[in-house]
Amino acid sequence: MEPKGPTAPVAPADRRRWFALAIVMTAAFMDLVDVTIVNIAIPSIKRDTGASFTSIQWITAGYALAFAAGLITGGRLGDIYGRKRLFLIGIGGFTLASALCGFAANPEMLVASRILQGGMASLMVPQVLSIVHATFPAHERGKVFGLFGAIVGLGAVSGPLLGALLTEWNLFGLEWRPIFLINLPVGIAGLILGRRFISESKAPKALRLDLVGVLLVTLGLLMLLYPLTRGRELGWPLWGHVSMVGSLLVFLALIAYERHKARSDASPLIELSLFRVKSFAAGIAVQLTFGIGLGIFFLVWTLYMQMGLGWSELRAGTTGIPFSIAVSVAAGVSVQKLVPRFGRKVLQAGALLMITGLLLYIWEAERYGMGIEAWQMALPLVVMGVGMGLIVAPLTDAVLSEVPKEHAGSASGLINTVQQMGTALGLGLVSVVFFGAIGDRLGPEAVGPAFVNAFQQSLWWVAGVLAVIFLVMFALPARPRAHVEGAGDDGTEADGTRGADGTGRAGSAAGTGDTGATKEPALTH
């Protein structure tokens, strides 16, 4: 009977950690769905609130900007003060911000609530995989990361469809508001259960906060993005040009400060020494430009289908299903089968496939005009989805493959942040590449053709961005190799955000993201 004594507590402990996993996975799913669900409801929001196109851009860009600005700091706060504590603060704040979004009385309140929601997500999201690292032993993490990848894919596929259904059903006459209010019961349950089942953990050597770095990054992006989104509407005033030029000076000041911070206490927001690694510098450039392309495409695609072609939310939402499925399938195949054999060529093939899909889409939009059907869009969307899947799954591993192990966490957090910044910048550029191609004061009969034409012009921009990405990818490592043992097991290192892009912002648009799993192939020269 003696063996029963020490084994008695194992079952409850095992149950607790799997309950904790379910809670953090649900939070990650909620964040992902919230990102993908909003785009499909944008035309409904515009009709109901009278929001301007500028407000529409900030409903999406504000979330991305706040998330990007707080992501690394959120991870470090979890390291210092406890990941469970920051997760609960984040999910509680995210739930409150969702309520404010759902009950927003005007576009300005909705934009402010979305910025708050992005900030709260930046506290919640980095803790998800840090909690997994602290809760599960290394030999179980492969299974957990596989489950996490499935959740990410499910969130990307179900978000647009769920948003379409909730908006189309017009529950209780609330129009678009249920897309935010649905977070309330989920968030409250996560808050209550998280207090009970998640175990607290902290990093043994947490770095100090770099709030000045966060302030400079946010200020620089605002000085660049605000004139981009308002410039066309205001006739491109002088102050806008001054602000955009001034943003470059702010970014130069950021670099100088980060160098000083690295020398003074070795805890900069951005580890500038990482940029001496050619593959990392190239990968950051790819992530930034990829984010710009995605930010442009997904917003103008929604506007094209619903406001240009006059499609319902449900029709637009279901049109994107083949794309999301193609991304998820191709992502799994690329990591498991293709990258180990062909290395960097897989990512470059993905960029070329995405360009091919865009060119097909441009041709179809021109040929069929206002009479285009959803099934006719399936081919270019599947080609684009396969191409995106080939890129997003192995990209982070490729970027990190030559980064020193002690900087793995910092590098991963920077990758996530840069992609979000790219997305915010892409959303800001929509004012130039899409709305700039639509004439002012259009008659009702001219709106559709104008949106179709602007959509085609925007896709040319995205194709150009992808061509740049293809060329920059030549600087990525060429051949696959196994990860250095332990490189992925210190996920809480530096900033606690290792793998946080799985809830990833790639996932928000693409249906997948890096999970930080240590058994997948990396790339090497």
Per-residue model confidence as pLDDT tens for the chain (525 residues): 444 444 333 344 566 788 888 888 888 888 888 877 888 888 889 889 888 888 988 998 889 888 888 888 888 888 888 889 999 999 999 999 999 999 999 999 999 999 999 999 999 988 887 888 778 877 776 677 667 766 766 766 677 888 888 888 888 888 899 999 999 999 999 999 999 888 888 877 767 788 898 899 889 988 988 888 888 778 889 999 999 999 999 999 999 999 998 888 777 888 888 888 888 899 899 999 999 999 899 989 999 999 899 999 889 988 988 998 888 888 888 877 888 888 889 999 999 999 999 999 999 999 999 999 999 999 999 999 999 989 987 887 788 778 777 676 677 778 878 888 898 889 888 888 898 888 666 666 778 889 999 999 999 999 999 999 999 999 888 765 544 334 444 333 333 333 333 333 433 333 333 333 333 333 444
Which among 293, 359, 297 has a CA at the least distance from the CA of 39? 297
- Residue 393 has a CB neighbour count (10 Å cut-off) of 32
Number of neighbouring beta carbons within 10 Å of residue 450: 15
Q: Nearest Cα to 98, choosing from 73, 128, 120, 126?
A: 120
Residue 202 region by backbone torsions, left for phi larger than 0, else alpha for psi between -120 and 50, else beta: beta
Q: Rounded CA gap, 30 and 94, in Å?
A: 10
227, β-bridge pairs:
none
What is the C-alpha separation between 352 and 196, in angstroms, rounded?
A: 49
CA dist., res. 522 & res. 394, Å (int): 8
Q: Are 348 and 470 in contact (CB under 8 A)?
A: yes
Say what the pTM is.
Answer: 0.80
Task: Give the number of other Cβ atoms within 10 Å of residue 192's Cβ.
Answer: 12
Cross-strand partners of 482:
521
Residue type, 504: G
**φ, ψ at 309 (rounded to 5°):** -85, -15
Among 366, 381, 377, CA closest to 457: 366
Beta bridge partners of 57: none
Q: Work out whether the CA dihedral 450, 37, 398, 332 comes out positive or negative.
A: negative
